[in-house]
Amino acid sequence: METILVTGGCGFIGRYVVEELLQQNYGVTVLDALIGQVHGGAEIDMPSRVRTIRGDVRDRACLDRALEGADGVIHLAAEVGVGQSMYEIDRYVGANDLGTATLLQAMIDKPVRRIVVASSMSVYGEGRYTSQGNSCGLVRRAPDRLKAGEWEPVASDGGRLEPVATDEEKPVDLASIYALTKYMQERQCLIFGSAYPTEAVALRLFNVFGAGQALSNPYTGVLANFASRLANGRAPMIFEDGRQRRDFVHVEDVARAFRLAYEKRAAAGHVINVGSGRSYAIADIAAMLAEAMGHPELQPEILGKARAGDIRHCFADISKARELLGFEPQHDLRGALRPFVDWVRTSEAVDRSAEMRRQLEERGLVS
């Protein structure tokens, strides 16, 4: 029986990955710092079959213990959130990039067969666009247009751009400190995999949702933020005009993708998108959730302001995941909303979105 170390294994995605691995009869070791912003200070009960070590991924002694007997690593440990990364730069770079470097350093002495690292769609910046049917390169939004409330990016000649599914060949364009750290994580692992016997795979995750997401962490996924607002009788807050489009992928599909990325020989050395392959406007998601939670009157509060580091449209082309992993999403957003809402109703949700907005505005990160 192979044993896999899951860093960040007590987190939202981590718990599902652990369950997926246990169902496939892997041995599992978890290393997690259990930081308060994510876990609220509560201890997380893991299945008795899981060897759990509480510690920081930058702690070499903890890593050496965690890697004992490990055949592979799924590396999820990271600080998450675009907005917060723009004003807690040392925290994000330290945890994400130094943490990954410390893990790889430890793996030189305790080698494993394969490492699968969690990257992010945020590395793309803006997603893929076409102009008059032709694919564009890097697309960026001009600050003066954003200040004027002109949210859509335009072609160099001022013409209209059409957002299309983003594939892995789209050049990266790092628009936030968080995106920078995730790109550094994936590149460190892939470079390590080309130099050492350990194979490496990077999964670029799109917007992950599902039961168990941190409802009181305003820098977690957008669906959890909306649910926290609605559970407290408040309308969801949306930056810009709410027509920005995203891809929402269920956490159970993500967990399966990690297991497949660990198992499939063809995946070695690749960067692979993990999403649903569908796109939704953010305001439509907020309205759908309000309806499902029994608050159709709580229509989204459209702020008409841009947040530093945000992009307009990005949704996944998952052709490569289908080809290399045999991955096919089994949950769509509409079908998965009801169990998500049922879970929210049994959970504590402290709405901290106003605090998040204040933190950003005080630092000039909202315009």
The series of mean pLDDT values per 10 residues for the chain, 367 residues long, is 95 96 98 74 76 95 97 96 89 96 98 98 96 89 91 90 97 94 98 97 96 77 88 92 96 98 98 97 94 92 88 97 98 91 84 74 74
132 sits in the region (left: phi over 0; alpha: psi -120 to 50; else beta) called left
Q: At 140, phi and psi to the nearest 5? A: -135, 155
Q: Can you tell me the distance from the alpha carbon of 30 to that of 7, in angstroms, rounded to the nearest whole number?
A: 6
46's tokens: 């893991």
Cβ neighbourhood burial of 222 (10 Å; 0-12, 13-18, 19+): middle
User: What count of other Cβ atoms lies within 10 Å of the Cβ of residue 12?
Assistant: 25
Q: Can you tell me the distance from the alpha carbon of 43 to that of 57, in angstroms, rounded to the nearest whole number?
A: 18
Q: Say if residues 225 and 232 touch (Cβ distance below 8 Å).
A: no
Q: What angle (nearest 5°) sits at the alpha carbon of residue 211, between those of residues 207 and 215? A: 75
161's tokens: 């751009």
Q: Can you tell me the distance from the alpha carbon of 33 to that of 35, in angstroms, rounded to the nearest whole number?
A: 6
303's tokens: 């702020």
Domains belonging to the chain, first-starting first, are: 3-362 (3.40.50.720)
Predicted local confidence at residue 189, as pLDDT: 98
Of 246, 65, 86, nearest in space to 175 by CA: 86
Which amino acid is located at 224 in the chain?
A
* DSSP-assigned states of every residue in 22-76: HHTT-EEEEEE---HHHHTT---PPPTTEEEEE--TT-HHHHHHHHTT-SEEEE-
Taking every pair of Cα atoms in the chain, the longest distance, rounded to a whole number of angstroms, is 61
The structure's pTM equals 0.93
Length reported for the chain: 367
Q: Say if residues 290 and 296 touch (Cβ distance below 8 Å).
A: yes
Q: Can you tell me the distance from the alpha carbon of 360 to that of 34, in angstroms, rounded to the nearest whole number?
A: 25
Q: Can you tell me the distance from the alpha carbon of 32 to that of 324, in angstroms, rounded to the nearest whole number?
A: 29
Q: Can you tell me the distance from the alpha carbon of 254 to that of 258, in angstroms, rounded to the nearest whole number?
A: 6
- Tokens 């710092």, located at residue: 33
| Terminal Cα distance for the chain, rounded | 54
Q: Say if residues 187 and 266 touch (Cβ distance below 8 Å).
A: no
312's tokens: 């307009």
Q: Can you tell me the distance from the alpha carbon of 286 to that of 37, in angstroms, rounded to the nearest whole number?
A: 24
What DSSP designation does 201 have? E
